[in-house]
Amino acid sequence: MCGIIGIVGKEAVSDRLVDGLKRMEYRGYDSAGVCTVENSQLIRRRAEGKLFNLVNVLKSDDAPGHTGIAHTRWATHGAPTTSNAHPHATGEVALVHNGIIENFKPLRDELIKRGRQFESETDTEVVAHLVSEQVEDGKSPEEAVQAVLPQLRGAFALAIAFRSHPGLLIGARLGSPLVVGYGDGETYLGSDALALAPLTQQISYLEEGDWVVVTEDGATIYDNQNKAVEREVTTSGVSAATIEKGQYRHYMQKEIFEQPTVVAQTLQSYIRPLEQQVALPQMGFDLESIKRITIVACGTSYYAGMVAKYWFETFARVPVDLDVASEFRYREPVLEPGGLALFISQSGETADTLAALRHSKENDQKIAVVVNVPTSSMAREADLLLPTHAGPEIGVASTKAFSCQLAVLAALAAHLAVVKGKMSREEEMDVVRHLTEAPAALNAALAYDEAIADMAHLVAPARDVLYLGRGPDYPLALEGALKLKEISYIHAEGYASGEMKHGPIALIDEAVPVIVLAPSGPLFEKTVSNMQEVRARGGKIVLISDADGLAEAGEGCMATIEMPRVHPLIAPLVYAVPVQLLAYHVAVAKGTDVDQPRNLAKSVTVE
């Protein structure tokens, strides 16, 4: 995590650096800082906490200069204090870093032995000292960086400024993303195209091991062998307007309400409504021969994978292994050559998922990636790229990316079933019809926003909340609990409803709201029986179901939330809406920071 930006410009940079940080605050918001170069001086301003603290510091103490770097931090090594905030600087250099320098300890010990003094607890500061040593020895900035990069292990995106070289920055990337932006007589570095959106749309993505020398005239990029290389300049589609909040109070709220549109947008790439066919992009391998699928992801994306497991197994009869990415490599999974490994990620940069992808590649798996950032590391390393078209997701809690992931995964599962001869033409037409109905059903679900806002006060005082679901709605129960935990700080757990009686039912009393997800359909009766077991023990139930379900089982519940009646295939997409809205309104009622909940960051680029 952490967001970095650098500008070598013709005009003052500090305001524009801060503006870039605003666009990246979703990457981390524990502290922030800028450093400019002016009159052979490094001018550094830093502040603990949210970005507005840095803005206040700059109001009273500006950082003049036409060259500068800036950083917004999600703490890994060292508490979120001002002294641990980036940029880290010596007398000669200042730098910002996203990632982790894994071998910082031996490097730091060596540096201390050589008499260097540290002022922070971070891993990053060692890089500042290593580069500084070289510069103090009379090396040029380029020579200094070339000498230091091979000493670093771990993951990094770096932007480095030099006291005696105004008008020059050096960037480097290994394992963490870094882009170069080209402006009119100005050149930029940034963690992503979003950070640079108001400055330029002309972007080059650095490859692994690349480093780059940036001046106002442009950039010279070198590969890990220090050979000058060309990297394509692409026009980024991200405009500053797509990342405004518009009429909404929070990004999360806006993103929840965008779901009908972005799911429709995503489906356009995966179904042909006129032909009533599922349509996947060309793939460089034979999908029919796939005998086993390994799905790997984290957090909300993992829950999308959990729903997809039901679909792959039911439709295509292909066995699926499912892992959270942080566990995957360490359990030494058995990966038969030629298997399909499927990675799901909003950002495409989550370090655990990326490491699992690389591990699978080394083990002869075909790599399919469902990802929302088509220029991300995962997208670049995929054999089969399946983009979601959710648009930038800024709220830290993932919402619209999840429903778009489900749309892609449903289409992929149906396509696999078709090529394997497990799905008839009629069944395929049915799947397409139901998926086509999803955007309208999402709209209908959103119509209950006010009703959900009105009952949120029933959940807001709780200390613990349970979510129950069965079949493909069980992952939705987990997702509901995750959403509530992360933005309202209420402890919540999701359970398979049939599992309650094996232990968790002991938690039930009148202080624990139990949210039951039970669309009518084949599993309804069983879920309702589990719900009755809870009610018999004094549990306070919030039942989320359609009109039929509520008519049958809604009586005696503390509250009910009505959903449109939908086919079970699209129920997980539609039932995502009430769990998102409930978490959202509870968080608003509690007054938490919805878009930037404590301790979190959007894109987790450390393992």
Catalytic position from the list 254, 309, 400, 602: 602
Distance from the Cα of residue 480 to its chain's centroid: 17
- Strand-pair partners of 31: 48, 73
Q: Is the bond leading into 87 cis (omega within 30 degrees of zero)?
A: yes
Nearer to ligand F6R, 353 or 596 (CB): 353
Nearer to ligand F6R, 398 or 527 (CB): 398
Task: Decide: 45 and 103 in contact? Cβ < 8 Å.
Answer: no
Q: 3-class SS at 62?
A: coil
Q: 3-class SS at 411?
A: helix
Least separation in angstroms between residue 352's CB and ligand F6R is: 8
CA distance 203 to 184: 13
As given in the structure block, the two tokens for residue 3 are 């967001």
Least separation in angstroms between residue 177's CB and ligand F6R is: 12
Nearer to ligand F6R, 36 or 377 (CB): 377
Least separation in angstroms between residue 405's CB and ligand F6R is: 8
As given in the structure block, the two tokens for residue 495 are 């359970």
Least separation in angstroms between residue 251's CB and ligand F6R is: 12
Least separation in angstroms between residue 57's CB and ligand F6R is: 30
Nearer to ligand F6R, 1 or 130 (CB): 1
- The full DSSP string for 549-567 is HHHHH-TT-SEEEEE----
Residue matched to tokens 């004094």: 538
Least separation in angstroms between residue 438's CB and ligand F6R is: 20
List residues binding ligand F6R (CB under 6 A).
Answer: 298-301, 345-347, 350, 353, 397-398, 482, 486, 603-604
Beta carbons within 8 Å of 56's beta carbon, 6+ residues apart: 47
CA distance 11 to 496: 58
Nearer to ligand F6R, 73 or 108 (CB): 73
**Is 602 among the catalytic positions?**
yes
- Strand-pair partners of 469: 496
Instruction: Indicate the residue type of 408.
Output: V
CA-nearest of 285, 570, 278, 295 to 415 is 278
For Cα atoms 505, 509, 515, give the angle at the middle one, nearest 5 degrees: 70
Task: Decide: 191 and 179 in contact? Cβ < 8 Å.
Answer: yes
CA distance 27 to 41: 29
Nearer to ligand F6R, 298 or 322 (CB): 298
Catalytic position from the list 2, 35, 298, 404: 2
**Is 557 among the catalytic positions?**
no
Q: Please identify every residue annotated as catalytic.
A: 2, 602
